[in-house]
């Protein structure tokens, strides 16, 4: 990311130093100028950060670069030891006058031409930068491309994202939080918390305290701040007096503490990429005091295409310059923006628009994703209700997808349900894992008999493992007491649901996704 660079430019004239300081939030750069004085005619370079200083310089030279100019001892020449003729003295006077005049002209010219950003001494969020016509504050634009697998960029369909990564930074991968779903991971990106801490434990789930179900597509729950715990980065920014803008990032408009983004555009399905680009640029083009410094954007179409047709499908991998685009539209009935090539084109148009505004040194772009995706077009179906048997009748809630979180009614023989699930995993160890969470001991559906059988190893089949610590998915009452996690190639369901709702692309626990930081 950007680092503060202090650039000190020294002009030597008539024995005094004219010092000019510029502070930038930018990449370290070295500015060199010809420096003339009555004593010498030499080249002088600007000082950047201390680690950029030439290590071959002598201690005195380094001292001259690092210290204030008032502390530098200027060695006066001993004129008595250098006798000169009147003609030579006259020439020196003429040269000295010419040097002074040239130094003044150079200083005046640089004062006029030097962009304001190079001598604005304010630092941090109050520092001002110029694009040549307007003043700006340092800005961060963070765009999430949902479902963008890390290896999508190696398919030859994203040349512009690759170009951006070469000019900036590219992480090899990003490990999502468990469960690898859109809403838990996007709220983790905002808060820095695991799902068990920020409370969004799935895209849809039951809250036993609220006695209500959260569903990402229901406005009454998705925009209800009481569901969303933790402090998102845009709240932190707003509290600090920084203007923020939110373009459909998964989450509420206002937090539980009553803080909201200055600008907020709520979720709208099938919202064209061109319109999103226009919205982002409209915020960037606002007047200085109204312009946001933190801008968030969200694009789900690639994820939707992957879930509908799979990560290897034409809808995802179609090339804009190929006739297969027409085939993909006919086969999938999706808009052409639901493809790698389309989001790559969006990234190009965004960076190009910033370049046309001369903002590449002011606006930092971060492209991220929430999870990867694997092909499940031909899964092996696992009917959990048949495995559990009679106790399945006591299941009151099934949370999550593609995993299953089970809640039981009081009086249900939970021990029998766990024994059956555990026995099945011994016979078929590659199909799924079954875990208990911290709420197993507090859920009303778990009887004392069940707890004793579980806690003291009285289950005939063995012991069900607790949720692994590495998942950070146990310590929240919203997490169901029993959780079943499928392995790759298997899909959990029951005879009530059958195969309905199963997508051909499923996000994986700890499957790599994409993260790219562009500091242009």
Point out the residues that are catalytic: 182
End-to-end distance of the chain based on CA atoms, in angstroms? 10
CA angle 308, 252, 2 (to 5 degrees): 90
Q: How far is CA 407 from the centre of its chain?
A: 34
328 CB-contact burial (10 Å; exposed 0-12 / middle 13-18 / buried 19+):
buried
Helix ranges (DSSP H) in 310-357:
314-317, 324-332, 340-356
Q: What does the CA dihedral 95, 98, 103, 106 come to, rounded to 10 degrees?
A: -130
Measured distance CA(400)–CA(202) in Å, rounded = 6
Measured distance CA(31)–CA(92) in Å, rounded = 29
Strand partners, 298: 144
Assign 238 to helix, strand or coil. helix
β-strand pairing of 374-375 with 169-174: unpaired
Measured distance CA(112)–CA(110) in Å, rounded = 5
Smallest CA-to-CA distance from 228 within 246, 254, 209, 247 is with 254
């Amino acid at each position: 990311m950007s680092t503060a660079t202090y650039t000190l430019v020294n002009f030597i004239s008539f024995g005094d130093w004219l010092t000019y300081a510029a502070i930038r939030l930018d990449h370290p750069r070295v500015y060199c100028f010809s420096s003339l004085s009555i004593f010498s005619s030499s080249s002088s370079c600007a000082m950047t950060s201390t680690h950029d200083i030439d290590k071959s310089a002598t201690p005195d030279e380094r001292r001259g670069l690092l210290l204030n100019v008032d502390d530098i001892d200027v060695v006066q020449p001993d004129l008595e030891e250098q006798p000169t003729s009147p003609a030579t003295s006259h020439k020196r006077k003429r040269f000295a006058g010419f040097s002074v005049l040239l130094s003044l002209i150079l200083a005046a010219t640089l004062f006029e031409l030097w962009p304001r950003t190079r001598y604005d001494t304010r630092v941090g969020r109050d520092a001002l930068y110029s694009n040549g016509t307007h003043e700006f504050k340092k800005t961060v634009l963070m765009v999430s491309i949902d479902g963008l697998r890390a290896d999508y960029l190696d398919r030859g369909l994203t040349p512009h994202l690759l170009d951006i990564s070469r000019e900036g930074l590219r992480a090899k991968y990003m490990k999502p939080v468990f469960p690898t779903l859109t809403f838990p991971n996007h709220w983790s990106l905002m808060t820095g918390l695991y799902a068990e801490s920020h409370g969004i434990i799935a895209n849809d789930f039951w809250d036993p305290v609220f006695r209500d179900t959260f569903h990402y597509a229901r406005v009454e729950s998705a925009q209800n701040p009481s569901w969303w715990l933790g402090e998102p980065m845009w709240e932190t920014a707003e509290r600090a007096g920084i203007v923020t803008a939110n373009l459909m990032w998964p989450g509420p408009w206002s937090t539980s503490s009553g803080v909201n983004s200055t600008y907020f555009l709520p979720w709208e399905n099938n919202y064209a990429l061109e319109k999103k680009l226009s919205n982002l640029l409209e915020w960037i083009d606002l007047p200085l005091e109204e312009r946001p410094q933190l801008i968030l954007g969200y694009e789900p179409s690639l994820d939707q295409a992957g879930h509908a047709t799979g990560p290897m499908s034409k809808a995802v991998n179609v090339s804009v310059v190929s006739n297969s685009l027409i085939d993909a539209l006919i086969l999938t009935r999706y808009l052409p923006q639901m493809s790698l090539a389309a989001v790559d084109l969006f990234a190009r148009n965004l960076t190009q628009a910033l370049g046309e505004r001369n903002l590449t040194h002011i606006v930092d772009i971060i492209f991220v994703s929430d999870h990867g995706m694997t092909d499940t077009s031909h899964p092996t179906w696992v009917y959990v209700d048949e495995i559990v048997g009679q106790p399945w009748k006591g299941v009151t809630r099934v949370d999550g997808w593609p995993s299953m979180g089970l809640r039981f009614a009081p009086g249900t023989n939970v021990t029998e349900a766990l024994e059956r699930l555990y026995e099945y995993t011994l016979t078929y160890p590659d199909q799924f894992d079954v875990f208990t969470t911290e709420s197993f001991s507090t859920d009303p559906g778990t009887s004392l008999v069940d707890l004793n059988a579980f806690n003291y190893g009285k289950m005939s089949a063995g012991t069900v493992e607790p949720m692994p610590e590495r998942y950070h998915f146990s310590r929240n009452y919203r997490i169901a007491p029993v959780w079943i996690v499928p392995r790759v190639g298997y899909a959990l369901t029951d005879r009530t649901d059958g195969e309905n709702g199963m997508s051909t692309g499923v996000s994986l626990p700890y499957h790599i996704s994409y993260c790219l930081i562009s500091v242009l």
